[in-house]
């Protein structure tokens, strides 16, 4: 296919060149009605390109096929059979993928380290989760994606499960052995859905971890806004093989998606695909070299440890590691990742990605250069020099990995929509939770609707909040109280 073409961007340019006059939404009418104070911040170009996909970018019957051609080009670029654009982020895309393979009340084999969006799909659809425990690093208190052997054991115990969902790469950059996991699923005639939100870049360089379509996965969900050049909420999901039909996948996406998609997001996805096909190899040659140099220089700072494959990969751990995710252990500095992240933002205007009880992370992409990485290095060196001023703060009561797993006492849907009440956190042990409680980032729930709370997990979360943990989806983000099911 001709990857110099950008159907969405070309249609936008034609719309402007033709001087079309909209008597349709959006009501700002190419920015003419927007407050000048808003335009001074967002810019006129944003409003000029904010128009309808139908009755704007394309005609009433979409006969020009603008979006369809853009999706076909994206599929060709990455080797998928079909690609669908989403302007609602991978949080919607992964739900659509789940609904396309499993019916209400059927079973789905799922890694317990999934993002909260997967749990939301369980709640909405009434799916019965068969949880697969992650690979726990007890020394570092870190979870990696479950092993293929763990998924095989789950299928053997639940042969009626409709398929599987795995998250890889994790927000910590660790990756599953997708080829082995695909074989396990396909040997049983089951589809594999890969939540590859952090892997938009993987198809475009051979030195990056294997990406889902190359490994034979049936559906892959990717957040182009995370590691690519998409705008926020820009997501794509790819499909191949015979186990998930394109019509079924598109229908489920249409069920959940907006009828007013953002042309701005479509255009960015379209342009990113062309950029990657034409220049991706060279861009990631440079990005990988920059990442290796930056990792080495950070690791040389006293008190900082940059985790590599030697730490994260091996039996019971991860299969591979994305080197663009720089995970920094700073426990030797005597402070927490929460305090370090706040200090770097306040003192150096540096925003790190993950912050937990002992780590921070810096996400590099093809957009970084020596200027941005030098600013990061300067900030981290200053952090190490002033670590004594930060202090450690309240300790986080970290249970053993096995004690973080809770009993699934009710279906997530039944617990979420059932009768609930609010109780003090220190009286919630033994009760069934009706809400998600998710340290964020990375957004992996510590507690799900339907799980029975215990003292270990409650103490972990409560002491975590005191230390700086952020729980945005809890009914009480400070965890003074918890929502639990009413018991007769």
Q: 200 pLDDT exceeds 90?
A: yes
pLDDT confidence band for 481 (50 / 70 / 90): very high
Q: What angle do CA 188, 237, 225 make, to 5 degrees?
A: 135
Query: Tell me, what's the pLDDT at 488?
Result: 75
Query: Tell me, what's the pLDDT at 316?
Result: 84
Query: Tell me, what's the pLDDT at 185?
Result: 98
- Judge if the upstream peptide bond of residue 442 is cis by omega within 30 degrees of 0: yes
pLDDT confidence band for 399 (50 / 70 / 90): confident
Residues 464-478: tens digit of each pLDDT: 999 989 998 899 999
- CA dist., res. 180 & res. 192, Å (int): 11
**What average pLDDT score do residues 369-398 get?**
93
- CA dist., res. 274 & res. 74, Å (int): 9
Q: 81 pLDDT exceeds 90?
A: yes
Query: Tell me, what's the pLDDT at 45?
Result: 92
Residues 155-188: tens digit of each pLDDT: 999 999 999 999 999 999 999 999 999 999 999 9
Residues 405-416: tens digit of each pLDDT: 899 999 999 999
Query: Tell me, what's the pLDDT at 48?
Result: 92
pLDDT confidence band for 26 (50 / 70 / 90): very high
Query: Tell me, what's the pLDDT at 285?
Result: 98
Query: Tell me, what's the pLDDT at 328?
Result: 98
- CA dist., res. 7 & res. 279, Å (int): 19
pLDDT confidence band for 222 (50 / 70 / 90): very high
Q: 401 pLDDT exceeds 80?
A: no
pLDDT confidence band for 154 (50 / 70 / 90): very high
Query: Tell me, what's the pLDDT at 78?
Result: 95
Q: Exposed (0-12), middle (13-18) or buried (19+): which is 309, by Cβ within 10 Å?
A: middle
> How remote is the C-alpha of 192 from its chain's centroid?
17
* pLDDT mean across residues, the chain: 93
pLDDT confidence band for 197 (50 / 70 / 90): very high
**What average pLDDT score do residues 320-331 get?**
97
What is the share, in percent, of the chain residues with pLDDT greater than 70? 100
Q: Are 246 and 82 in contact (CB under 8 A)?
A: yes
* Domains in the chain, CATH or no CATH each: 66-273 (3.40.640.10), 280-390 (3.90.1150.150), 401-485 (3.90.100.10)
pLDDT confidence band for 52 (50 / 70 / 90): confident
**What average pLDDT score do residues 41-54 get?**
92
Query: Tell me, what's the pLDDT at 445?
Result: 86
**What average pLDDT score do residues 238-256 get?**
93
Query: Tell me, what's the pLDDT at 59?
Result: 80
Instruction: Tell me the pTM.
Output: 0.93
pLDDT confidence band for 395 (50 / 70 / 90): confident
Query: Tell me, what's the pLDDT at 27?
Result: 93
pLDDT confidence band for 287 (50 / 70 / 90): very high
Q: 63 pLDDT exceeds 90?
A: no
pLDDT confidence band for 404 (50 / 70 / 90): confident
Query: Tell me, what's the pLDDT at 427?
Result: 95
Query: Higher model confidence: residue 251 or residue 61?
Result: 251
Q: Map the chain to HEC letters.
A: CCCCCCHHHHHHHHHHHHCCCCCCCCCCCCCCCCCHHHHHHHCHHHHHCCCCCECCCECCCCCCCHHHHHHHHHHHHHCCCEEEEECCHHHHHHHHHHHCCCCCCCEEEEECCCCHHHHHHHHHHCCEEEEECCEEECCCCEEECCCHHHHHHHHHHCCCCCCEEEECCCCCCEECCHHHHHHHHHHCCCCEEEECCCCCCHHHCCCCCCCHHHHCCCEEEEEHHHHCCCCCCCEEEEECCCCCCHHHHHHHHHHHCCCCCCHHHHHHHHHHHHHHHHHHHHHHHHHHHHHHHHHHHHHCCCCCEECCHHHHECCCCECEECCCEEEEECHHHCCCHHHHHHHHHHHHCCCCCCECCCEEEEECCCCCCHHHHHHHHHHHHHHHHCHHHHCCCCCCCCCCHHHHCCEECCCHHHHHHCCEEEEEHHHCCCCEECCCECCCCCCCCCECCCEECCHHHHHHHHHHHHHCCCCCCCCCCCCCEEEEECCC
């Amino acid at each position: 296919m001709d990857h110099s073409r950008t159907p969405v961007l070309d249609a936008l340019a034609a719309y402007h060149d033709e001087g079309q006059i909209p008597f349709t939404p959006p009501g700002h009418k190419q920015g003419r009605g927007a407050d000048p104070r808003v335009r001074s911040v967002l810019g006129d170009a944003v409003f000029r390109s904010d128009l309808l996909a139908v009755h704007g970018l394309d005609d009433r019957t979409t006969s020009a096929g603008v979006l369809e051609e853009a999706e076909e080009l994206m599929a060709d670029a990455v080797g998928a059979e079909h690609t669908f654009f989403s302007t609602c982020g991978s949080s919607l895309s992964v739900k659509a993928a789940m609904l396309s393979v499993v019916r209400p009340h059927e079973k789905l084999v799922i890694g317990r380290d999934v993002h909260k969006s997967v749990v939301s799909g369980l709640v909405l659809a009434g799916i019965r989760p068969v949880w697969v425990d992650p690979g726990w690093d007890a020394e570092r208190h870190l979870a990696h994606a479950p092993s293929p052997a763990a998924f095989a054991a789950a299928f053997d115990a639940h042969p009626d499960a409709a398929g599987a969902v795995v998250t890889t790469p994790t927000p910590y950059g660790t990756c599953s052995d997708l080829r082995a996991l695909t074989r396990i699923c396909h040997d049983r005639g089951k589809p594999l859905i890969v939540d590859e939100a952090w892997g938009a870049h993987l198809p475009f360089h051979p030195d990056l971890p294997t990406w889902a379509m190359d490994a034979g996965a049936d559906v892959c969900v990717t957040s182009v806004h995370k590691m690519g050049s998409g705008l926020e909420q820009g997501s794509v999901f790819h499909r191949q093989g015979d186990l998930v039909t394109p019509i079924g996948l598109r229908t489920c996406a249409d069920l959940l998606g907006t009828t007013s998609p953002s042309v701005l997001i479509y255009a960015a996805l379209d342009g990113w695909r062309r950029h990657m096909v034409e220049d991706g190899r060279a861009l990631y040659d440079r990005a990988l070299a920059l990442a290796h140099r930056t990792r080495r220089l950070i690791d040389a700072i006293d008190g900082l440890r940059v985790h590599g494959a030697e730490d994260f990969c091996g039996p019971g751990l991860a299969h591979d590691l994305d080197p663009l995710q720089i995970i920094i252990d700073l426990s030797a500095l005597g402070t927490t990742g929460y305090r370090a992240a706040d200090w770097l933002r306040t003192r150096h205007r540096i925003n790190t990605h993950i912050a937990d009880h002992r780590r921070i992370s810096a996400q590099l992409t093809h957009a970084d250069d020596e200027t941005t990485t030098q600013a990061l290095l300067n900030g981290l060196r200053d952090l190490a020099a002033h670590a004594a001023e930060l202090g450690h703060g309240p300790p986080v009561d970290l249970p053993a990995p096995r004690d973080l797993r809770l009993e699934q006492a009710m279906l997530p849907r039944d617990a979420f929509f059932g009768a609930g009440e609010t109780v003090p956190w220190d009286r919630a042990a033994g009760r069934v939770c009706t809400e998600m409680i998710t340290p964020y980032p990375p957004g992996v729930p510590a507690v799900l609707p339907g799980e029975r709370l215990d003292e270990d997990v409650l103490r972990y979360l409560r002491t975590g909040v005191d230390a700086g943990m952020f729980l945005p989806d809890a009914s009480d983000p400070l965890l003074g109280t918890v929502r639990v099911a009413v018991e007769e």
